Chains A and B, each alone.
Chain A
């Protein structure tokens, strides 16, 4: 017999193995080579979290109790999958264009980014998932108990509860570690998905192995097996038609509506074309996994003494034949099924709870003080997700304790399914019917949920646990037509069919009537049109007017939510699309729309809308705008797409021209100023040289004075030479006549050199660096590169006006390019001047204290261009900040 301790050790080893898989996959994805991580095979396998412990253990138990009916649980999803062209394709497209993070997000987003709908769906999802998680805990616990019993020790209630609690805590730790490492823009978890895919293989192999052993090892082949089925207690075909159809419908609906299925189907989808393959491949997976269920059940009923829990046949049949290895494999399969479901479910629910409940509350609480500018939203999101994961598992554990842990697995699962599918009318109505409104959706959801709670959920705890037997028999307060198994006095129905029928019927009715009788808000109509007509135009809706919000403010906010590198990339891309250089695009409605969608990927549509709304200050959409947009849309339809492209092109050109014009005007003003400046700069030394040389020529000076005058003349000549050198340097660089040296060196050494040439640490300016980041071998013109660094450091020294001036030098990698950022803590450069600082002759505010002629940055830019790199101003860093992008060709070896 397998020692119980060995079993625990194997389970722990297996978990460690999953940790490694998840970790490696995550790391690969982070480094950007996720090639096979994004393959259709992984996507297909990840869908297998549909097959939980309910499938692995419960299906056999189900078959032993009700014959072939178990197969309906897999036929429903098969119909949805082979019909992917109808619903799944639409859902995935919507998910990708609207950057949906969860099913609650989709519903909230469709109905005008409504916060309250998000809350309703989230609460419903948490409650309806609770029994399902309890099911997983129960099955893992039971499987441990089977082995304990085989080892000669029978577990009592206390040990079972202890094991369930331990399993719940272990799962919480694993999920928190891998599910909440970052607030990913698209909520994709490569590590988890990979681990799930591996578990999918394990559970399929385990179940097939047991099945093959039963059919060929015990029954003696398919023929005798069929004969044995005909001789078994479940031989007769007595299927109840109502249940058959209802459960096929239920499982089909649940396949779309379950939060965890939505997570893997839609949110984790990386490529729409994967659906094409998953459509038939995952149907095949379902077929294989249900293939041997009946044989195992029949053989179990035949071999094992009556009274054995049929839910555990997958374990007890091999054990009774002395096949411990097989039983162990089977145990791992069941363990995989349970853990993968719990992990993905809790992640999906935690995302929903944090995005739709915690963050809105947090935002409201801080709304008075301009919330989005202070405090770290990312931290709040991550913390709330971690707590939610633990909370959801705890609820599952409580359900397990309450329901007593003795119910058939399939019965619990069906209760959970029928709760989850209450979202279906709002979901399907929302994506196919433009007339669906928020009020209708809310009414339908709440009605369906209440009916489900009354007819299925509360009675599921068992007689007298939550609902007393007298309520079941005679209705609450003796009101007969409210009896949970016979609503409106209709008796004699199967309780499951009864519950599904009434909850769906009333749900759909309220949804429909509510939608027909209410009028949607403009935002709802816009979102509705977008989502329903997703294949006609995937362009964004326009819900913002151009406004006073500064691009810089928006950038500061986005950096807080999605991280600075990602925000900067996004802003830069948008600016480029508008034909502008730098990080600050014009705040156009299109830009704000795009930004909102980008943020929605992290915090959900409703929250993103609210946050952007706070900055834009209520210039959101009005009915007039909607009419204007509709007019505009009608006009656009009349133009050919070519004209559209052309007008966009013209728009870009016009914008570029406008920019150029502004730049030219500013420059011509500056040039005039510079000419007088340079004549002044030239004249001052000239005047003193002339006067002092005249004095010397006249000759009647003492020796000491003689030396002093000669010294002054020498100094002034030097100043003149420096000025002329700069001018010469610039013209040589600009004309491309410069010869670059081919040198090798270390970035760290160049920075050292630059810092010491530019005056070192002394003289008030503190330079903060991180030497470990700076080890980077380069092959380029080192002297020229150092010249750029020296210039930037001495600029900071000259212009930083903070009390304790500090300069931070940060080396990092953004989009595969190495960058060096120079960030000081002064007031920075006003937006109006950012355009011109790199031009020749430009000098801000005409502060002559600097003593240069405004050529330094122009020279830097010319040098970086010659070297193949770039230098630019980086706004929104709390001071003047310059970013030097090192030439890619120059990077020799990485650390």
Chain B
């Protein structure tokens, strides 16, 4: 039972940081969705005309992808350390 006591307004530094990390973990997919829709704003090329090419989009998309994975990996290390919240749900 994680009931917050009403008197506790400020958290200690560690717990505060941990909560912000969780916020970041929640934000990752939103960041990803925004970054991945950016190519839709690029100028579409008419055949023979100027505009973005598939190879540029390819490089961009994979770069965003690597960035997301890296971010998630870093966050997972930090978030993991707050194990008490993850009490075993199943009795052995």
A residues contacting B by CB (< 8 A) are 67-68, 71, 75, 78-86, 93, 96-97, 226, 229-230, 234-239, 241, 244-245, 248, 272-273, 276-277, 279-281, 283-284, 287, 291, 294, 535-538, 637, 641
Choose from B47, B58, B86, B87 the contact partner of A236 (Cβ within 8 Å).
B47
The 9 closest A-B pairs by CB, nearest first: A83-B29, A280-B72, A237-B52, A82-B72, A280-B73, A96-B89, A85-B25, A241-B40, A79-B29
What are 27 A-B residue pairs whose CB atoms fall within 8 Å in the complex? A71-B61, A75-B61, A78-B68, A79-B33, A80-B29, A84-B25, A85-B79, A86-B29, A234-B54, A236-B47, A236-B51, A236-B54, A237-B45, A237-B56, A239-B40, A239-B44, A239-B57, A241-B40, A244-B39, A248-B33, A283-B65, A283-B68, A283-B69, A287-B62, A536-B1, A538-B87, A538-B89
* A79-B32, A238-B45, A279-B76 known; A294-B69 Cβ under 8 A: no
Residue of A nearest to B21 (CB): A85
B residues contacting A by CB (< 8 A) are 1-3, 22, 25-26, 28-30, 32-33, 36-37, 39-40, 42, 44-45, 47, 51-59, 61-62, 65-66, 68-73, 76, 79-80, 83, 85-87, 89-90
Minimal beta-carbon separation of A145 from chain B (angstroms): 30
Judging by beta carbons under 8 Å apart, are A85 and B26 in contact? yes
Judging by beta carbons under 8 Å apart, are B29 and A68 in contact? no
Judging by beta carbons under 8 Å apart, are A68 and B3 in contact? no
Judging by beta carbons under 8 Å apart, are B58 and A229 in contact? yes
- For the complex, what is the distance from the CA of A798 to the CA of B36, rounded to whole Å? 81
Judging by beta carbons under 8 Å apart, are B79 and A276 in contact? yes
Judging by beta carbons under 8 Å apart, are B69 and A82 in contact? yes
Choose from B28, B36, B87 the contact partner of A75 (Cβ within 8 Å).
B36
Minimal beta-carbon separation of B56 from chain A (angstroms): 7
Known: A236-B47, A287-B66. 16 other contacts (CB 8 A): A68-B61, A79-B29, A82-B71, A82-B72, A83-B30, A84-B25, A85-B22, A229-B53, A236-B53, A237-B42, A237-B53, A239-B57, A273-B83, A279-B72, A283-B65, A536-B2
Choose from B3, B47, B54 the contact partner of A230 (Cβ within 8 Å).
B54
Judging by beta carbons under 8 Å apart, are B28 and A229 in contact? no
> What chain B residues lie within 8 Å of A82 (beta carbons)?
28-29, 32, 68-69, 71-72
Judging by beta carbons under 8 Å apart, are A273 and B32 in contact? no
Residue of A nearest to B44 (CB): A238
> What chain A residues lie within 8 Å of B22 (beta carbons)?
85
> What chain B residues lie within 8 Å of A97 (beta carbons)?
89-90
Question: How many residue-residue contacts, CB under 8 A, span A and B?
Answer: 127
Minimal beta-carbon separation of A301 from chain B (angstroms): 12
> What chain A residues lie within 8 Å of B25 (beta carbons)?
83-85
Looking at B62, B68, B80, which has the most chain A CB atoms within 10 Å of its CB?
B68
> What chain A residues lie within 8 Å of B1 (beta carbons)?
536-537, 641
Judging by beta carbons under 8 Å apart, are B54 and A294 in contact? yes
Minimal beta-carbon separation of B76 from chain A (angstroms): 5
Task: Give chain B's interface secondary structure class.
Answer: helix
> What chain B residues lie within 8 Å of A536 (beta carbons)?
1-2
Choose from B3, B28, B47 the contact partner of A637 (Cβ within 8 Å).
B3
* A276-B76, A283-B68 known; A535-B2 Cβ under 8 A: yes
> What chain B residues lie within 8 Å of A226 (beta carbons)?
55, 58-59
Residue of B nearest to A539 (CB): B1
Looking at A81, A85, A245, which has the most chain B CB atoms within 10 Å of its CB?
A85
- For the complex, what is the distance from the CA of A248 to the CA of B42, rounded to whole Å? 18
> What chain A residues lie within 8 Å of B33 (beta carbons)?
79, 248
Looking at B47, B51, B53, B83, which has the most chain A CB atoms within 10 Å of its CB?
B53
- For the complex, what is the distance from the CA of A535 to the CA of B62, rounded to whole Å? 35
Judging by beta carbons under 8 Å apart, are B76 and A280 in contact? yes
- For the complex, what is the distance from the CA of A237 to the CA of B62, rounded to whole Å? 15
Minimal beta-carbon separation of A248 from chain B (angstroms): 7
Judging by beta carbons under 8 Å apart, are B69 and A280 in contact? yes
Choose from B36, B44, B87 the contact partner of A237 (Cβ within 8 Å).
B44
> What chain A residues lie within 8 Å of B66 (beta carbons)?
287
Choose from B29, B30, B39, B54 the contact partner of A235 (Cβ within 8 Å).
B54
Judging by beta carbons under 8 Å apart, are B54 and A229 in contact? yes
> What chain B residues lie within 8 Å of A86 (beta carbons)?
26, 29
> What chain A residues lie within 8 Å of B55 (beta carbons)?
226, 229-230, 235
Minimal beta-carbon separation of A624 from chain B (angstroms): 26
- For the complex, what is the distance from the CA of A230 to the CA of B45, rounded to whole Å? 12
Minimal beta-carbon separation of A408 from chain B (angstroms): 19
Judging by beta carbons under 8 Å apart, are B58 and A78 in contact? no
Minimal beta-carbon separation of B21 from chain A (angstroms): 10
* A82-B71, A273-B80, A276-B80 known; A67-B86 Cβ under 8 A: no
- For the complex, what is the distance from the CA of A276 to the CA of B81, rounded to whole Å? 11
> What chain B residues lie within 8 Å of A277 (beta carbons)?
76
> What chain B residues lie within 8 Å of A238 (beta carbons)?
44-45
Looking at A248, A273, A276, A536, which has the most chain B CB atoms within 10 Å of its CB?
A276
> What chain B residues lie within 8 Å of A283 (beta carbons)?
65, 68-69, 72
- For the complex, what is the distance from the CA of A264 to the CA of B68, rounded to whole Å? 23
- For the complex, what is the distance from the CA of A524 to the CA of B58, rounded to whole Å? 48
Judging by beta carbons under 8 Å apart, are A67 and B54 in contact? yes
Judging by beta carbons under 8 Å apart, are B28 and A83 in contact? yes
- For the complex, what is the distance from the CA of A422 to the CA of B79, rounded to whole Å? 32
> What chain A residues lie within 8 Å of B44 (beta carbons)?
236-239
- For the complex, what is the distance from the CA of A328 to the CA of B87, rounded to whole Å? 47
Minimal beta-carbon separation of A69 from chain B (angstroms): 10
> What chain A residues lie within 8 Å of B86 (beta carbons)?
272-273
Judging by beta carbons under 8 Å apart, are B58 and A294 in contact? yes
Minimal beta-carbon separation of A440 from chain B (angstroms): 26
Residue of A nearest to B80 (CB): A276
Residue of A nearest to B42 (CB): A237
> What chain A residues lie within 8 Å of B36 (beta carbons)?
75, 79, 248
Judging by beta carbons under 8 Å apart, are A284 and B69 in contact? yes
* A239-B39, A641-B1 known; A287-B57 Cβ under 8 A: no
Looking at B29, B44, B52, which has the most chain A CB atoms within 10 Å of its CB?
B29
Residue of A nearest to B3 (CB): A637
> What chain B residues lie within 8 Å of A84 (beta carbons)?
25
Judging by beta carbons under 8 Å apart, are B32 and A287 in contact? no
> What chain A residues lie within 8 Å of B62 (beta carbons)?
287, 291
Residue of B nearest to A86 (CB): B26
- For the complex, what is the distance from the CA of A248 to the CA of B83, rounded to whole Å? 32
Minimal beta-carbon separation of A602 from chain B (angstroms): 15
> What chain B residues lie within 8 Å of A276 (beta carbons)?
76, 79-80
- For the complex, what is the distance from the CA of A479 to the CA of B90, rounded to whole Å? 55
Residue of B nearest to A295 (CB): B58
- For the complex, what is the distance from the CA of A273 to the CA of B87, rounded to whole Å? 10
Judging by beta carbons under 8 Å apart, are A81 and B72 in contact? yes
> What chain A residues lie within 8 Å of B89 (beta carbons)?
93, 96-97, 272, 538
* A80-B29, A272-B86 known; A68-B40 Cβ under 8 A: no
Residue of B nearest to A74 (CB): B65
- For the complex, what is the distance from the CA of A238 to the CA of B2, rounded to whole Å? 51
Looking at A67, A71, A637, which has the most chain B CB atoms within 10 Å of its CB?
A71
- For the complex, what is the distance from the CA of A86 to the CA of B25, rounded to whole Å? 9
- For the complex, what is the distance from the CA of A279 to the CA of B71, rounded to whole Å? 11
Judging by beta carbons under 8 Å apart, are B40 and A287 in contact? no
- For the complex, what is the distance from the CA of A294 to the CA of B62, rounded to whole Å? 12
> What chain B residues lie within 8 Å of A229 (beta carbons)?
53-55, 58
Judging by beta carbons under 8 Å apart, are A235 and B32 in contact? no
Choose from A230, A245, A294 the contact partner of B37 (Cβ within 8 Å).
A245
Minimal beta-carbon separation of B20 from chain A (angstroms): 13
- For the complex, what is the distance from the CA of A96 to the CA of B86, rounded to whole Å? 12
Minimal beta-carbon separation of B5 from chain A (angstroms): 10
> What chain A residues lie within 8 Å of B51 (beta carbons)?
236-237
> What chain A residues lie within 8 Å of B52 (beta carbons)?
237
Residue of B nearest to A276 (CB): B76
Minimal beta-carbon separation of B40 from chain A (angstroms): 4
Minimal beta-carbon separation of A59 from chain B (angstroms): 14
Minimal beta-carbon separation of A164 from chain B (angstroms): 34
> What chain A residues lie within 8 Å of B71 (beta carbons)?
82
Residue of B nearest to A82 (CB): B72
* A239-B39, A276-B76, A535-B2 known; A68-B69 Cβ under 8 A: no
